[in-house]
Amino acid sequence: MMTRWSERVADINDLLLDRQIFDADGHPVGKVDDLELVDANDGGPPVLSAILCGPMAFGPRLGGALGLWWLSVARRLRPDADPTPVRIPFDQVASVDRKQVCLSTRGEDEGPQRLRRWTRDKIVSKIPGGQS
Protein backbone atom coordinates (compact mmCIF):
# COMPACT_ATOMS: atom_id res chain seq x y z
CA MET A 1 0.00 0.00 0.00
CA MET A 2 1.06 3.57 -0.42
CA THR A 3 2.81 5.84 1.93
CA ARG A 4 0.70 7.62 4.54
CA TRP A 5 0.73 11.10 3.07
CA SER A 6 -0.06 12.80 6.32
CA GLU A 7 3.19 11.54 7.73
CA ARG A 8 5.44 12.30 4.84
CA VAL A 9 7.22 15.50 4.00
CA ALA A 10 6.65 15.28 0.31
CA ASP A 11 8.05 17.42 -2.43
CA ILE A 12 4.84 17.54 -4.38
CA ASN A 13 6.46 19.10 -7.40
CA ASP A 14 8.77 16.15 -7.72
CA LEU A 15 6.32 13.44 -6.83
CA LEU A 16 2.91 14.20 -8.15
CA LEU A 17 2.22 17.30 -10.17
CA ASP A 18 2.13 16.86 -13.94
CA ARG A 19 2.38 13.07 -13.74
CA GLN A 20 0.34 10.92 -16.09
CA ILE A 21 -2.72 9.22 -14.54
CA PHE A 22 -3.77 5.77 -15.73
CA ASP A 23 -6.89 3.85 -14.73
CA ALA A 24 -6.91 0.23 -13.58
CA ASP A 25 -6.92 -0.96 -17.21
CA GLY A 26 -3.92 1.15 -18.10
CA HIS A 27 -5.93 3.69 -20.11
CA PRO A 28 -4.71 7.27 -19.81
CA VAL A 29 -7.03 9.40 -17.70
CA GLY A 30 -5.24 12.74 -17.68
CA LYS A 31 -2.50 14.60 -15.84
CA VAL A 32 -2.26 15.56 -12.21
CA ASP A 33 -3.16 19.18 -12.84
CA ASP A 34 -3.59 20.20 -9.23
CA LEU A 35 -3.98 18.77 -5.72
CA GLU A 36 -6.59 19.19 -3.02
CA LEU A 37 -5.40 19.48 0.57
CA VAL A 38 -7.63 19.56 3.65
CA ASP A 39 -6.73 20.67 7.12
CA ALA A 40 -6.14 17.79 9.44
CA ASN A 41 -8.72 17.44 12.23
CA ASP A 42 -6.07 17.42 14.93
CA GLY A 43 -4.59 20.70 13.77
CA GLY A 44 -1.55 19.09 12.18
CA PRO A 45 -0.25 19.73 8.67
CA PRO A 46 -2.77 19.58 5.79
CA VAL A 47 -3.58 16.18 4.37
CA LEU A 48 -3.74 15.37 0.67
CA SER A 49 -7.33 14.40 -0.05
CA ALA A 50 -7.71 14.31 -3.83
CA ILE A 51 -6.08 14.72 -7.21
CA LEU A 52 -7.64 17.38 -9.39
CA CYS A 53 -7.55 17.16 -13.15
CA GLY A 54 -9.16 18.41 -16.30
CA PRO A 55 -9.59 21.90 -17.77
CA MET A 56 -11.18 23.31 -14.59
CA ALA A 57 -8.10 22.39 -12.57
CA PHE A 58 -5.64 23.36 -15.29
CA GLY A 59 -6.75 27.01 -15.40
CA PRO A 60 -6.04 27.84 -11.74
CA ARG A 61 -2.82 25.88 -11.98
CA LEU A 62 -1.63 28.09 -14.85
CA GLY A 63 -2.37 31.16 -12.79
CA GLY A 64 -2.24 34.75 -13.95
CA ALA A 65 -4.42 36.30 -16.61
CA LEU A 66 -3.94 33.32 -18.89
CA GLY A 67 -5.24 30.97 -16.21
CA LEU A 68 -8.28 33.16 -15.59
CA TRP A 69 -8.99 33.28 -19.30
CA TRP A 70 -8.63 29.52 -19.58
CA LEU A 71 -10.95 29.04 -16.62
CA SER A 72 -13.63 31.33 -18.00
CA VAL A 73 -13.57 29.55 -21.37
CA ALA A 74 -13.69 26.16 -19.66
CA ARG A 75 -16.58 27.30 -17.47
CA ARG A 76 -18.63 28.41 -20.45
CA LEU A 77 -18.04 25.19 -22.34
CA ARG A 78 -19.03 22.97 -19.44
CA PRO A 79 -22.04 20.74 -19.86
CA ASP A 80 -23.36 21.48 -16.35
CA ALA A 81 -23.22 24.26 -13.81
CA ASP A 82 -20.85 22.54 -11.39
CA PRO A 83 -17.80 24.83 -11.11
CA THR A 84 -15.45 22.43 -9.29
CA PRO A 85 -12.73 20.54 -11.13
CA VAL A 86 -12.77 16.80 -11.57
CA ARG A 87 -11.80 15.22 -8.23
CA ILE A 88 -10.17 11.85 -7.90
CA PRO A 89 -10.31 11.03 -4.17
CA PHE A 90 -6.97 9.80 -2.97
CA ASP A 91 -8.41 6.49 -1.79
CA GLN A 92 -8.94 5.58 -5.46
CA VAL A 93 -5.22 5.84 -6.09
CA ALA A 94 -3.56 2.44 -6.25
CA SER A 95 0.05 3.46 -6.67
CA VAL A 96 2.26 6.48 -7.17
CA ASP A 97 5.79 6.73 -8.41
CA ARG A 98 7.86 9.39 -10.09
CA LYS A 99 6.57 8.44 -13.50
CA GLN A 100 2.87 7.83 -13.09
CA VAL A 101 -0.21 7.63 -10.92
CA CYS A 102 -2.33 4.49 -11.22
CA LEU A 103 -5.94 4.36 -10.09
CA SER A 104 -7.77 1.37 -8.67
CA THR A 105 -10.94 2.30 -10.54
CA ARG A 106 -11.94 2.05 -14.14
CA GLY A 107 -14.80 3.68 -15.93
CA GLU A 108 -14.67 5.10 -19.38
CA ASP A 109 -17.00 8.04 -19.14
CA GLU A 110 -16.51 9.09 -15.56
CA GLY A 111 -15.65 12.63 -14.55
CA PRO A 112 -12.16 13.03 -15.97
CA GLN A 113 -13.33 11.81 -19.34
CA ARG A 114 -16.12 14.34 -19.89
CA LEU A 115 -14.28 16.24 -22.60
CA ARG A 116 -13.30 13.01 -24.26
CA ARG A 117 -16.88 11.79 -24.24
CA TRP A 118 -18.11 15.08 -25.61
CA THR A 119 -15.65 15.19 -28.53
CA ARG A 120 -16.43 11.58 -29.30
CA ASP A 121 -20.20 11.93 -29.29
CA LYS A 122 -20.51 15.38 -30.80
CA ILE A 123 -17.69 15.41 -33.36
CA VAL A 124 -15.87 12.17 -34.05
CA SER A 125 -18.81 9.82 -34.37
CA LYS A 126 -20.52 12.22 -36.78
CA ILE A 127 -17.61 12.10 -39.23
CA PRO A 128 -17.75 9.29 -41.82
CA GLY A 129 -15.60 6.38 -40.69
CA GLY A 130 -15.49 7.65 -37.14
CA GLN A 131 -17.81 5.12 -35.57
CA SER A 132 -16.43 1.76 -36.52
Partner 1 sequence: MLTLGVMTAIGGFVDIGNLVTSGVTGARFDVSLAWAVALGTIGMVVYGEMAGRVTAVAQRPVFHVVRERLGVRFGLLNLVAACALSALALTAEIGGVALSLELASDVSYLLWVPLVALGVWGVTWRMKFQYMERIFGLMGLALLVFVVALFFLPTDWGALLSSATHPSVPASESYPTYFFYAVSLVGACIVPYQVVFFSAGGLEEGWTVDSLAEMRLNVLVGFPLGGILTLAIMACSAVVLMPLQVNVSHLGEVGLPAAVAFGKAGLAFALVGFFAATFAAAAETALSTGYSMGQYFGWSWGKWLRPTEAPRFHVVVLGTLLLGTAFVLTTIDPIKVTIVSVVLGAAAIPLTYLPILVTANDRDYLGEHVNGWFANALGVLVLLMMLVVSLVAVPLLLWTKAGQ
Partner 2 sequence: MIFLTKRSSRGGDARVRAFAGFACTLALSACASPATSFDGYQGKVAASAQAMTGIVNTAWLAADSWQRHRVTSAYADIVVTNAERDAGSVLTALDTRQPPDERSIALKDDADQPLQDASDALTDLRIALRRDDHDGVSHAMQMLKHELQPLAAFTQDGG
Q: Footprint of partner 2 on this chain (CB under 8 A)? A: 12, 17, 34-38, 46, 52, 57, 60-67
36 binds, among partner 1, partner 2, none (CB under 5 to 8 A by kind): partner 2
Distance of closest approach, residue 43 Cβ to partner 1, in angstroms = 31
Residue 79 and residue 54 in contact, taking contact as beta carbons nearer than 8 Å: no
For every residue of 67-111, DSSP letters joined together read: HHHHHHHHHHH-SSS--SPEEEEGGGEEEE-SSEEEES---TTSG
Distance of closest approach, residue 119 Cβ to partner 1, in angstroms = 4
65 is a site residue for partner 1 (CB under 8 A): no
| The only residue of 30, 86, 88, 96 in contact with partner 1, by rule CB under 8 A | 30
Per-position x/- string for 92-131, each x denoting binding to partner 1 as judged by CB under 8 A, each - no binding: -----xxx---------------xx--xx--xxx-x-xxx
- Looking at residue 1, the DSSP 8-state letter turns out to be -
For residues 35 and 12, give the distance between their C-alpha atoms in angstroms, rounded to a whole number: 9
Q: CA nearest 4: which of 52, 57, 32, 45?
A: 45
User: Toward partner 2, which CB reaches closer, 35 or 101?
Assistant: 35
Q: 3-state DSSP call for residue 12? A: helix
60 binds, among partner 1, partner 2, none (CB under 5 to 8 A by kind): partner 2
